[in-house]
Chain A
Amino acid sequence: MEKGYSSNSDENLIQAADYVEKPESQLKEMWETLKQNKAAVVGLFIIGLLALIALVVWGSELLGKQILPYDPNYSDMTQSFIWPNAEHWFGTDQLGRDMFSRILDGTKISLFVGVAAVAISLSIGVMLGAIAGYRGGRTDALIMRIMDMMLAIPSILLAIAFMAALGKGLDKAVIAIGLVSIPEYARIVRGSILSVKENDYVQAAKVIGNRDSRIIFKHILPNIISLIVVRATLGISTAVLDTAALGFLGLGVQPPYAEWGDMLGRARGFIFTAPYTLIFPGIAITIIVLAFNLLGDGLRDALDPKSRIK
């Protein structure tokens, strides 16, 4: 049904359309609150440190320079199962590779997989959620029912099934983990869109003749960006855990690359003879996941208006 607007209310609506909180200001406000949360700052610091390690290792690899104490993929059977000592801080594994170098090398894989998988689920999930929430009706019902169905299958099982279809390998693990998390983002975005789509500024944007896609990307998504940031941060920790799980089951990164979950899976047979081979990769996974959880929790608190007032 057409609604008749007087010129006065038209003006008001256009003003409302102009008044959209810029995403930068929202994120800035979030950052201000976040800075006061010690745990979150610690999380951020650890992530920064890990990112630095990953970048340095990756950069030196590109330049063909050896920056790690030992070549992480060089095996020497005469050096296998050396317990941690001054020369090999974390000992050597079953193939005589230096565990410390492998753990540092694994940082880049874990960080990459975490971020890449979230990028996949985020982009597809946000798009589906936005379409479902904005369009409503049958489109909404269809998209969300498919999401419900995906949620009814435990994510790790679904990821393994995807891996069976796609084949083993790091790139496939990223896709599989990215695909299984789509419903979470779709749900969050759809819910938020439903709650903001009736707001004046959205209605105003419609009245002045904006296209649907423009309204979604310019007017609605910027308003829920902080919510998405929180979910994505926590999503990285889940993605890292899932990658480790796939690696542990022998489905992720293929040898000789150092991936922490894969290292755990391959060292399982030596649980009683060389337990240290199973301790350090696990600590590494826990630290990275913990850091993203601390940051994610901090961001969520920063988003909560109650804690902002404090």
Chain B
Amino acid sequence: MLKYIIKRILMLIPVLIGVSIIVFLIMRVFSPDPAPIVLGQHATQISVEAWRQANGLNDPIFLQYFHFISGALTGDLGTSFYTKMPVIKEIFSRFPATIELAMVSIILASLFGILIGVVSAVKKNSIFDNAGMLLALVGVSMPIFWLGILLIIFFSGTLHWLPSSGRINPLLQPGHVTGFYLVDSLIAGDMDAFIDALRHLVLPACALAMYSMAIITRMTRSSMLETLQQDYIRTARAKGISEGKVIGKHALRNGLIPIVTVIGLQLGSLLGGAVLTETVFSWPGIGAYTVACILKSDFPVVQGVVLLIAFVFVLVNLIVDVIYAFLDPRIKYSKKEG
């Protein structure tokens, strides 16, 4: 098992190098020169040249890439063209906001997705099933950002129940420990801050969770429908085991493997969806920030963020693969199969 994990981690390296090359090519070779964008249209030719020289943009492209990748290996992703702050600092000041949002969303999506999927499968063709499937269909068809807008119109504009933007009331901001406000406020024992952070999280998390929930619901339903037809389910029922136990312990446990795969894949797509959700809710995370940086050609930041997101994405896939082994004892990562 350990060997398998190490092998998979080693396999991440070429993927990450490839991702860095793709992003580097798009941003540095095919994109317009950032100098006039950063310095403004009225910058003189001399100042543009000086700026390019200072930022190493006059070096041959291979050398530029070499500098970037050798820096990345030592944890130095360069400095932002605009703020002059190290990229790694820029990223880590915003990353917890995105991770907190994504984690709460995936928890919501998994809980409701599995619940609705199981009910739909168990009560197949009932009104619950039809309603669940309709919800799932609308969930995959609705633009995330539009759902966010609808939630704001209804819950913030009409009902005035929940805030429409930001992470927390600045007056209540807890001291920085983990960067996750829900956790930090609990550590500080400040319940007001916790509730305020939670209230800010509800709408963006629901908007972001909807699509994933729909996908998880569909997968859970089809997976459960298949397992519920198996002989061992009939045997379990014949033995007089309560229906709740049959579904929870026998059917769901066996149907979980494809569901876990989908949840893992959804975590990756949530990071993409965060770009839009964060824009709608002015959430101070990495997604909205990256869009802004791409648009103003802040190469070092974009490269760093995309590399980090790709890293998280492939790491999540690895974790999902490892979770399989725990869920399905038949899957063994032995030498023979590896």
Residues of A within 8 A of B (CB): 145-146, 148-150, 152-157, 160-167, 237, 241, 244-245, 248-249, 251, 261, 264, 268, 271-272, 275, 278-279, 281-282, 285-286, 289-290, 293-294
Asked if B153 and A275 make an inter-chain contact with CB atoms under 8 angstroms apart, the answer reads yes
Known: A145-B14, A282-B149. A161 touches B272 (CB 8 A): no
Give the residue name and chain of the A residue nearest to B211 (CB).
A241
Asked if B149 and A148 make an inter-chain contact with CB atoms under 8 angstroms apart, the answer reads no
Residues of B within 8 A of A (CB): 14-16, 18-19, 21-23, 26-27, 30-32, 137-138, 140-146, 149-150, 152-153, 157, 164, 268-269, 271-273, 275-276, 279-280, 290-291, 294-295, 297, 302, 306, 309-310, 313-314
Partner of B22, one of A153, A261, A278: A153
| Residue among A163, A165, A167 having the largest count of chain B Cβ atoms under 10 Å | A165
Partner of A245, one of B32, B157, B276: B276
State A271–B269 Cα separation when bound (angstroms): 27
State A262–B158 Cα separation when bound (angstroms): 24
Partner of B269, one of A154, A164, A167: A154
- CB-CB under 8 A from B276, the residues of chain A are 156, 245, 248-249
User: Assuming A153-B310, A249-B276, what are 6 further A-B pairs, CB within 8 angstroms?
Assistant: A152-B19, A164-B31, A166-B30, A282-B150, A286-B142, A293-B137
- CB-CB under 8 A from A281, the residues of chain B are 146
Give the residue name and chain of the A residue nearest to B149 (CB).
A278
Asked if A164 and B295 make an inter-chain contact with CB atoms under 8 angstroms apart, the answer reads yes
Looking at the assembled complex, report how far the CB atom of B223 sits from the nearest CB atom of chain A, in whole angstroms.
15
Asked if B290 and A157 make an inter-chain contact with CB atoms under 8 angstroms apart, the answer reads yes
Looking at the assembled complex, report how far the CB atom of B102 sits from the nearest CB atom of chain A, in whole angstroms.
11
Asked if B272 and A157 make an inter-chain contact with CB atoms under 8 angstroms apart, the answer reads yes
| Residue among B18, B21, B26 having the largest count of chain A Cβ atoms under 10 Å | B26
Asked if B149 and A155 make an inter-chain contact with CB atoms under 8 angstroms apart, the answer reads no
Give the residue name and chain of the A residue nearest to B140 (CB).
A293
Partner of B268, one of A145, A154, A244, A248: A154
Asked if B143 and A244 make an inter-chain contact with CB atoms under 8 angstroms apart, the answer reads yes
- CB-CB under 8 A from A294, the residues of chain B are 137
Ranked 7 nearest A-B pairs via Cβ: A154-B272, A282-B146, A149-B18, A165-B30, A290-B141, A289-B141, A152-B310
Asked if B22 and A149 make an inter-chain contact with CB atoms under 8 angstroms apart, the answer reads yes
State A286–B138 Cα separation when bound (angstroms): 8
Asked if B143 and A272 make an inter-chain contact with CB atoms under 8 angstroms apart, the answer reads no
- CB-CB under 8 A from B15, the residues of chain A are 145, 148-149, 152
State A145–B17 Cα separation when bound (angstroms): 11
State A244–B148 Cα separation when bound (angstroms): 14
- CB-CB under 8 A from B145, the residues of chain A are 245, 248, 264
- CB-CB under 8 A from A249, the residues of chain B are 276, 279, 291
Partner of B306, one of A155, A157, A272: A157
Give the residue name and chain of the A residue nearest to B147 (CB).
A282
Known: A149-B22, A154-B271, A278-B149. A161 touches B302 (CB 8 A): yes
- CB-CB under 8 A from B271, the residues of chain A are 154
- CB-CB under 8 A from B138, the residues of chain A are 286, 290
Asked if B146 and A264 make an inter-chain contact with CB atoms under 8 angstroms apart, the answer reads yes
Looking at the assembled complex, report how far the CB atom of A282 sits from the nearest CB atom of chain B, in whole angstroms.
4
State A290–B150 Cα separation when bound (angstroms): 18
Partner of A161, one of B21, B26, B143: B26
- CB-CB under 8 A from B279, the residues of chain A are 248-249
Asked if A164 and B27 make an inter-chain contact with CB atoms under 8 angstroms apart, the answer reads yes
- CB-CB under 8 A from B16, the residues of chain A are 152
Asked if A286 and B143 make an inter-chain contact with CB atoms under 8 angstroms apart, the answer reads yes
State A12–B290 Cα separation when bound (angstroms): 60
- CB-CB under 8 A from A272, the residues of chain B are 153, 157
State A216–B123 Cα separation when bound (angstroms): 45
- CB-CB under 8 A from A145, the residues of chain B are 14-15, 18
- CB-CB under 8 A from A155, the residues of chain B are 272
